[in-house]
Amino acid sequence: MGPAVTLQVVRHGFYPRGGGAIEVHITPVERLQPIALLERGARRCAYAEAYISGLALHVAERELEVVGQRLNWSAEQLKVRGLSSDMGPGNALVLTVEHDNITEVFTGFGERGRSAESVAEGAVREAFAYLAHAAPVGPHLADQLLLPMALGGVTTFATCAPTMHFRSNADVIYMFTGRRIIAEGAGDAHSVTMR
């Protein structure tokens, strides 16, 4: 859409302790260049990262084992990201699927009393749901694209069935701008535009 954006994780943070920090640098442009997201394009790569801090290594290994088995990903696609124990205790599982036109990310967060396998299963279910349809934009990213759409950076995109969060974001944007976001389609094929 035009602006140059860089993001750097300064410090990871895990619930309940927190303390995470990121730095984002945005080089603005006078006007956003409109884009349309209608196709994913060719799949470039997919990988899983299990971030772990102050917990036993086997937690991350068990999560990645579930991902590898359920998504049929190779050992090269499964990475443990050990962090300093002073950032934890904590655990997050991040699945990334990159295509030519879009990258989707699915996450699972460890918490006390929740098994590593259930964390992985949750993230894998989201990835499966995304990969089961051809729309380039998943349900969580669809929510986030509505504001750039309202600002003129996105003209249209294809997504799966809109969520309640999507609909409430669209309603808030309508209240502030008077412009209505329309999602037309059925099942896993919706075209999103603004009027």
Residue 165 among the catalytic residues: yes
Nearest CA-CA partner of 55 in 91, 7, 107, 9: 91
Backbone angles phi, psi at 17, to 5 degrees: -65, -40
* Whether the Cβ atoms of residue 108 and residue 122 lie closer than 8 Å to each other: yes
* Residue that is written with structure tokens 């349900």 in the block: 139
**Who's near 73: CB < 8 A, 6+ residues apart?**
46, 47, 48, 67
**What is the Cα 149 distance to its own chain's centre?**
18
Q: Which residue of the set 99, 133, 140, 165 is catalytic?
A: 165
Write out the catalytic residue numbers: 165
